[in-house]
């Protein structure tokens, strides 16, 4: 049984101008421990696809099809059911940590709350676990950083905090939505290397959502290329690089070389 199975998934948004279809009948499977890149330009439907998986779509969204996680159907589940999966069994890293982190709470408070809510830990145990996780994602002087607010950290450090938060409950699936787009090239490389190490250590499945096909090459086993809400090509990463079949895939590779 695959860890994640998506079948005939459609996502549409009701707007004053009419219905906009963002995901058009996508089929996708992901095995435990596998890494998958979902690649395409802005508006391809990449993020909406996995927001549907996580149950994070806005109220004007309409979905149909099937999303199963470890055999459990997630689509159209009640929020309290989805909350048993989000954070604990599957987690998401967002593109901009400044919008995902609460600016009014310290880093320590936000991370320990995850463990207290999902794992039922005491404050002291949660704090010790949080410090260990911050050290694992290579944040220096982790005990002191517990008292920092998001705006007091660099962009790279904030993204490391987001990775730590996503990993606290040891999910089986980590979805990284453009995790390095807002970072400079050097920090991008550091974050991708960190994700690669953590993936190997934990043997968890990872989905990397990105517009940058070469960036995904160092992390992912397979790639799904999306355009206009459809998967136009899917295959092993090496084959996609060496023998791309779809014209759009060739365009992405050519654009990355310039």
Angle at 155 between CA 225 and CA 102, to 5 degrees: 95
Q: What is the pLDDT of residues 41-68, one digit of tens each?
A: 999 999 999 999 999 999 999 999 999 9
Q: What is the pLDDT at residue 228?
A: 96
pLDDT tens across 61-101, in order? Answer: 999 999 999 999 999 888 888 888 988 899 999 888 888 89
The domain spans of the chain are: 1-89+174-258, 100-168
**CA dist 138 to 60, 94, 163, 164, 210, Å?**
39, 19, 11, 10, 23
Least confident of 60-69, 189-198, 247-256: 189-198
For residues 160 and 97, give the distance between their C-alpha atoms in angstroms, rounded to a whole number: 9
Residue % of the chain over a pLDDT of 70: 99
Residues 186/13, Cβ–Cβ less than 8 Å: no
Which DSSP symbol is given to 86?
B
Q: What angle do CA 223, 27, 256 make, to 5 degrees?
A: 25
pLDDT for the residue numbered 258: 62
CA 17 – CA 7 distance, rounded (Å): 28
Portion of the chain with pLDDT greater than 90, in percent: 66
Task: Find out whether 200 and 189 touch, Cβ atoms under 8 Å.
Answer: no
Neighbours of 193 (CB within 10 A): 13
Helical (H) or strand (E) element with 30? strand 18-30
CATH fold group of domain 1-89+174-258: Rossmann fold (3.40.50)
DSSP SS3 for 4: strand
- Mean pLDDT value of segment 22-34: 96
Nearest to 191 by CA among 171, 218, 173: 218
Among candidates 72, 21, 70, which has minimal Cα distance to 49?
Answer: 21
Whole-structure pTM value:
0.90
């Amino acid at each position: 049984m695959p860890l994640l199975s998506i079948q005939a998934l459609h996502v549409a948004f009701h707007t004053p101008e009419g219905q906009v279809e963002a995901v058009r009948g996508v089929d996708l499977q992901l095995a435990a421990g596998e890494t998958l890149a979902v690649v395409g330009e802005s508006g391809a439907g990449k993020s909406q696809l996995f927001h549907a998986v996580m149950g994070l779509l806005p109220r004007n969204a309409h979905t149909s099809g099937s999303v199963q996680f470890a055999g459990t159907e997630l689509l159209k589940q009640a929020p309290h059911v989805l909350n048993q999966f989000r954070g604990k069994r599957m987690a998401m890293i967002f593109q901009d940590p400044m919008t995902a982190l609460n600016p009014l709470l310290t880093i320590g408070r936000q991370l320990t709350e995850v463990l207290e809510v999902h794992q039922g830990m005491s404050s002291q145990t949660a704090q010790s676990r949080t410090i260990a996780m911050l050290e694992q994602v290579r944040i220096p002087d982790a005990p002191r950083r517990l008292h920092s607010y998001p705006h007091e950290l660099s962009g790279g450090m904030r993204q490391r905090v987001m990775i730590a938060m996503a990993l606290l409950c040891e999910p089986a699936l980590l979805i990284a939505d453009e995790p390095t787009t807002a970072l400079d090239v050097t920090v991008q490389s550091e974050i991708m290397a960190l994700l690669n190490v953590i993936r190997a250590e934990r043997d968890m499945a990872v989905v990397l959502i990105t517009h940058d096909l070469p960036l995904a090459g160092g992390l992912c086993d397979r790639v799904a290329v999306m355009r206009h809400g459809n998967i136009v090509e899917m295959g092993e990463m090496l084959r996609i690089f060496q023998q791309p079949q779809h014209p759009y895939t060739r365009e992405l590779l050519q654009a990355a070389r310039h």
